[in-house]
Chains A and B, each alone.
Chain A
Amino acid sequence: MSDSAPARSDDPATPVVAPAVTPAVTPAGTLAVVAVVVAHNGARWAADLGAALADQTRAPDRVVVVDTGSRDDTAEDLRAAFPAAGLVTLDRRTSFGSAIAKGATAGWAGIPGAYGSDQANHASWLWVLHDDCVPAPDALEELLAAAAEDGRIGIVGPKVRDFTDRRHLLEVGLTIARSGRRETGLEPREEDQGQHDDIGSVLAVGSAGMLVRRDVWDQLGGFDPNLPLFRDDVDLGWRANLAGHRVAVAPRAVVHHVQAAARGRRTIDAATRRRHLLDRRGALYVLLANLPGRALWLAYPRLVLASVARSVGFGLGKLPGLAVDELAAVLLVVARPDRVWRARRARRPLRTVPDAAVSRLLAPRGAQVARALESLAGVFSLGSPGSADISARGHRALETGPSDDDFADDEPAGVRWLRRLARPGLVLGVALAVITLVASRDLIGAGRLMGGALLPAPDGASDLWATYVGTWHDVGLGSDTTAPPYLAAMAALATLLAGKAPIAVEVLLLAAVPLAGLTALLAARRLLESPWVRVWAAATYALLPATAGAIAGARLGTSVAAVLLPLLALGAARVVGDGRAPGSWSSAWASGLCLAVMASFVPVSYVIAAALLLVVAVGAARSGAVVARLAVVLVTPVLLLLPWTLELPTRPGLLLLEAGLPGPGLSDAALAPVRLLLQSSGGPGALPWWLGVPLVLGALSSLLSQHRRRLVLAGWATAGTGLAVGLAVSLSTVSTPTAQTAVAAWPGFPVVVVAGGLLLACAVGVERAQDRLRGRSFGWRQPVALGVVGLVVVTPLLLAGWWMLRGTDDPLARLDPVVLPPFVAADGDEPARPRTVTLDRAADGSITYALLRDTGPRLGDAETGPPYDSFDVLDEAVGDLVSGRGGDEARVLAEHAVRYLLVTPPVDADLVATIDAVPGLRRLSTDSGAALWRLSQSASRLRLVDADGASLAELPAGAEAAAAAVPAGADGRLAVLAERADPRWQATLDGTPLVAQTVDGWAQGFRLPGRGGDLEITYDQTDRTRWLMVQAGLVGLVVLLAVPGARRSDVTP
């Protein structure tokens, strides 16, 4: 203990001035209590403390005020209140620990059996007090009483409550988590109802009001001088425990504490002024100094890594100061292993009890996870009307500090838990989840979701990333179509879900209803007053028929956009700001990000959002900042979705499409315009028209009242915009590169907007219904309004019932996504890279076919295929093939590198008979009931052909790039790659670039000289890579800007 004993280690330059120490009042051998108050610019509270000391039912025998360079009258005020107090004046940079030590030395002076004596001095106590704490009148008496009960007690601490909010419990003992986090074991803003009064031993108690037995204090050497301000109490308690003393809380002793230093209510002069740095450094030091030796070597790297991670987190939270502190703290500790080593050496003689006995007093390992879950659960609660800002609220829940919001109820804990369970948000989430489960009963089992507009997800997130990042897509004849940006969003989500792409699809599609309910609830918090009307509105929104239709038709885009729409609305509201909170820039970036994600799934959502936000901008034109923020919202998606955005001028049809394959039968070309107003988007899962009537009536009836007129009109404006865009969409036709049938565009998302707008108008009416019905006489309106409200209120029940009856499946299904028989798929990896044509007869008698390379089509292939006019040659060959018109189809197929033809079960017997008769095809047996043929002639992705186009040889090729040795031969030969000709294909022979040439009107060929050599064919990805880097940079920047500036987290001393 020698080298860390405070009495010797303190700054020797600091003069100790102790002019007036009160003479001993206690005779030798009797119990003596010396109270030491450290005063540092605490005049605000000094009078209270002085009075409290004076009022003690068991007064301390001596009081020493240690003033560490106060610039106010703290010490004087204290002494005025407690004239008997001695005074020690120290430099303002003196640490808390050494101040106490100096005070204690001064206080013990003259008391018999003080330093060095072992005569009965153990009955003497040191009472540590801060200038910002106020002990209750019986505090000392109760502390001493508790200490008297157990002779093993070395340190006893009071129950600490808040200074201003006197019910608010701050501490009943302290501990530390293995991450260094200070743990009180209390819930945020927990009220003191005696619930913790049975607490036993603790690791440590806070220094405010702590009572330390004098011999223990001496044995431990007081506070560690390496801890200038924070964490010294934890360290002391830990050491006391290690030394075999008991640290206890006396719950009947109460101290009210301001925690001024920790909360930044006063400057810290003891060391650096950086509170967070001090706190973290202290935490790391305490852990490393006290943890058992075997745990140390794991703790070192873990703490360093965790600190780096936290630092990144602070950086993202736009708290660069804290990020720097975090790193600095870990550097300071790691850079001085000698300090840790010396501290551990000093503690070694203390360790008299097994480590396990002390370790159990540390915070349980799961505490932090539990805390995170707790704060997440806070999202589900409706909260108080004032707390509209969810992110701020969630953040506050994580804090241990006091809150401005006061809970005024006196319910016992059990009832509060029940009330928590009955939170409307939780009820809503659970109900929607159950409804979804019932509705998707036919989609449970093995396989992958597909059908409708959805192609099955690939196995992993990496496949999605590869599709997104790639320039050349091996879909059909190959294409350089820009990958749709929604793939990046899907890939990112799949990466978060442990890389499981199918789960990402299931979450976005099947969980869309509960998720939409929760996002709608978040938005409703800002707009609606009554919790249950919010729940009603959120439930109705979640169960919108357009969303149900989107799920049934497997429209990933609309279901994602329906989930995000309330968030965008909320974001837009925060961008504009209102009386309660000014508009925020981070909301603008977040809304822009949200809109970008929506637009990547459903491009038309951008059009709708732009129209609505322009209206808002016109309304807010006098505020330049608001207009600028709205501009940010609108410009961000355009930039983030580059280079896809650049495709729009040449392919305006993209605006009408959404993620997936708009196959025939998924939309209604004859959708009557009025059906859009009735919230029906047509296609599979379209609901009976009359289910859409209540919302229209409700929204209309809201117009009859003056109540919240602006909100009602906003709802109608939203609905009108959605209606206009939806009509334009439903009157258009679309076709994709990979499904050339033109079909009516699907107005799913515009209908969601229509319904959302109507719902908003409706909700205002419902909220007001009670007053309206009770209020002035409306004559005929009153019963009508009653009826409308009743109808509107039961709408979500009707929708839920209808949806559960219908189910979410059809055409959405869960099936095995494997199309090709295993050996055919395996063949696809051969050097020849052969392909397969699958054929089927559609319901109308026409023939559909696909050109597959490996297992089958996957998510993203629908958008990345080549334009369908590039299939002309193949179309004709397949037509001839299935009509029996006769010709050399087999040769054409071979030129497309097709080796297999497949008709999957149930097979069309006529089709199979016709293909059986085609020369050049040989039927193979399969065990699945499929009909499979193999071309007699060889088919290869890369061929060598002579000047007349006749095949000379097959060459091995990779999936994209190809490398092969070419034999010498005649002039005029070509290397033909069975990929669509594209200027970015490049070839070299022994390093010499070859001249490209289009073969057969579509394929990529290269002119070969007569000599042989090593042929290398590559596809130039540079442009895409550059774009992606720009895009990644932009996304990173916007994410950084979008993260709400986190509030500074307070630390507690």
Chain B
Amino acid sequence: MAVFAAVVVVVAAGLGTLTAVRPAEIAAEEPARGRLPVSNTVLVCPDPSALGADSSTDVTFAAPSVAGTASVAGDTAAAGGLDPESAAAAGLEARGPVARYPVEVTNAPPVVIRTLGSLAPGLAATQVTRATDGDAQGLAASACSEPGTSAWFVGLGTEIGHRPRLYLINPGETPAELDVLLFGSGGEVDAPAARNLVVPARGRVTFELDALAPDLKQLAVQVVVRSGRVAASVRDYWIDGLTPLGLDWVPAAEGAGTTRVVVPGVSGGAGERLLHLLAPGALDARIQIRLLTARGPIEAVGLEEVELRAGTVRSIPLEDVAGGEPVAVELTSDQPIVAGARVVVPLTEDRTEMAYAAVVDPLTGTATATDIRTGTAGIATLLLTADPEADRPVSAVITFLDPDSGEVLATDRVTVPVGATLPVPIAGDDLPERLAITVLPSAAGLYGVLELVEAVEGGSYVSLLPLRSPALDIEVPRVRYDLSTGLLPG
């Protein structure tokens, strides 16, 4: 009995003590290695060609000085050709200043801005073409884009005179294979010539969309890259006989595959405002539309709810409901939708100018605009929209920068009420004519579009430049070496 008791006591005491002193479990390792700075950025400016005698293009780019970033001596960002070995036309050696590469020749090759290392996070570039003479007249501003695997363009048309052109540029070292899908009001357009395309390494393929799918009042384009990466862009110009009716780049619509999207920056003023909607999924969509005005969201009378057949594009005129105000459009659907808007501004009796808006993602950090003209050279207005789903007003700090030195000239802080669209003029007494700005939202849910207007005789050329926050860093998953990877399913 004594032995029995002794064994019981010893075992119980041992186990009890160990249970009590047991250390905490092994901390589960984070699945992500963390957010790491972007290490490599390639931006493609698809077509910086001058479009005629009185035409020029400025390619500008900069990496803003923002918190958490620093330049490393020796790192550069350079604008060159598709061949990475080609001579740099312009370059940056530090964060802050704006590099400018003016192009005054026609048929210029694409400009590729490459950076490796510390100038890569937040790099932004714009190409702005000013054409005041010739068939294609207008102001066409576009953010140079990173090569990707998918792109949507909405708001196009191929009626007589519309000449939208699709640029597919592959700055990489391997050929890219892709399909281009076209959607019209009747559904997907059969265009075999746009299937199974190969964009060679360091190559460019250009399509005239009016030749591929003529006579469509509404056209949406999807680029699906199957291997490699491609920078896709669309520039539209419209001519009626000999009368130029406008020119602009069509921003790529983001948010494809989501059911609530916002098209910010539909300019105010006279002229046609046409909202294009596409339901790319397999099911018909029911879409609620709200306009986000200076006074907040309003339901558009007669447009509260729109039915949209799957795979079709539909256009909805907005000019009457917007009433000349700059607005943003919120679309809520039961199916994924893509949307964009065309802005037509009358210049004279028979001439117009065009600009495009599209669904963009809200700003997630600093957005940079590198080529703004103020004073006598132009009028720039920042159209800020606060997401109606935001729980409180969103403010933004706007920093005015000297493009040559990168110095901060002034800062401005604006607050946008929930669901409202607020035009913020980029103006000031001491500002130089050429300017760069950065916009930093205080919270999520702010959309920004820069409306650029440059006055010429008889009217104003206009272009809309949606602001995007280029990634400063990216989440890198934790990577573990595990010998059995691939051996066992699941």
Chain A residues engaging chain B, CB cutoff 8 angstroms: 450-451, 455-456, 475-476, 661, 663, 669-670, 672-674, 677, 700, 703-704, 709, 713, 716, 720, 723-724, 727, 731, 733, 738-744, 811, 813, 815, 817, 819, 838-842, 844-852, 856-857, 861-862, 865, 868, 871, 874-876, 878-880, 882-888, 890, 902-906, 913, 916-917, 919-923, 936-937
Contact = CB atoms under 8 A, between A and B. Distances in A.
B481 A848 contact: yes
A888 B115 CA distance: 12
A882 B485 CA distance: 15
A700 B484 contact: no
A868 B482 CA distance: 10
Given A455-B484, A673-B15, A885 B40 contact: yes
Interface in B32-54: 32-33, 36, 38-42
A862 B174 contact: no
Contacts of B483: 455, 475-476, 661, 738-739, 850, 857, 861-862, 865
A413 B37 CA distance: 87
Contacts of A883: 36, 474-477
Given A674-B15, A703-B3, A919-B173, A904 B486 contact: yes
Contacts of A849: 479-482, 485
Contacts of B1: 704
Interface in B122-178: 147-149, 172-175
Interface stretch (B221-229, B361-369, B384-392, B447-455): B221-229
A845 B31 contact: yes
B484 A661 contact: yes
A739 B481 contact: yes
Nearest to A676: B15
B149 A913 contact: yes
Contact of A917 (B10, B32, B228): B228
A839 B19 CA distance: 39
B41 A450 contact: no
Contacts of B31: 842, 844-846
B489 A904 contact: yes
Interface string B226-259: 1111000000000000000000000000000000
B476 A450 contact: no
A40 B36 CA distance: 101
24 contacts: A450-B487, A476-B483, A673-B19, A677-B11, A739-B481, A739-B483, A739-B484, A839-B485, A845-B32, A846-B31, A846-B480, A847-B480, A875-B481, A878-B479, A882-B477, A885-B38, A885-B474, A886-B39, A886-B41, A905-B489, A913-B149, A917-B147, A921-B174, A936-B174
Contacts of B120: 886
B18 to A, nearest CB: 4
A455 B486 CA distance: 12
Closest 5 CB pairs of A and B: A838-B486, A886-B40, A845-B31, A848-B482, A919-B172
Contacts of A903: 486
Nearest to A868: B481
A180 B339 CA distance: 98
Given A920-B172, A922-B228, A923-B226, 11 more contacts: A451-B488, A661-B483, A700-B4, A738-B483, A739-B480, A739-B481, A811-B488, A862-B483, A885-B40, A887-B116, A920-B174
Q: Pick the most buried of B28, B175, B487, B490: most chain A CB atoms within 10 A of its CB.
A: B487
Given A663-B482, A913-B149, A936 B488 contact: no
A672 B21 CA distance: 11
A721 to B, nearest CB: 12
Given A663-B484, A741-B29, A720 B10 contact: yes
A672 B11 contact: no
A888 B40 CA distance: 8
A738 B22 contact: no
Given A450-B487, A885-B40, A738 B32 contact: no
A906 B4 contact: no
B210 to A, nearest CB: 30
B482 to A, nearest CB: 4
- What does DSSP make chain A's interface, helix, strand, loop or mixed? mixed
B487 A845 contact: no
Given A739-B481, A923-B227, A819 B38 contact: no
Contacts of A856: 486-487
Nearest to A935: B174
Nearest to A702: B4
A713 B6 CA distance: 11
Contact of B39 (A744, A838, A861, A880): A880
A824 to B, nearest CB: 11
A664 to B, nearest CB: 9
Given A844-B31, A917-B225, A815 B488 contact: yes
Nearest to B36: A885
Contact of A850 (B18, B29, B38, B486): B486
Contacts of A913: 149
B386 to A, nearest CB: 30
Contact of B23 (A731, A841, A857, A906): A731
B10 to A, nearest CB: 7
Contacts of B490: 906
Contacts of A852: 486
Given A857-B487, A886-B42, A906-B490, A846 B479 contact: yes
A309 to B, nearest CB: 43
Given A700-B7, A849-B482, A886 B18 contact: no
Contacts of A879: 33, 476-479
Contacts of B229: 917, 919
A840 B476 contact: no
Given A455-B483, A840-B486, A670 B477 contact: no
Given A743-B26, A919-B173, A882 B479 contact: yes
A462 to B, nearest CB: 21
A875 B22 contact: no
Interface string B45-72: 0000000000000000000000000000
A703 B26 contact: no
Interface in B438-490: 474-490
Nearest to B485: A850
Contacts of A670: 25
Given A670-B25, A743-B26, A879-B477, A919 B19 contact: no
Contacts of A744: 26
Nearest to B3: A703
Contacts of B33: 879
B14 interface: yes
Contacts of A724: 14
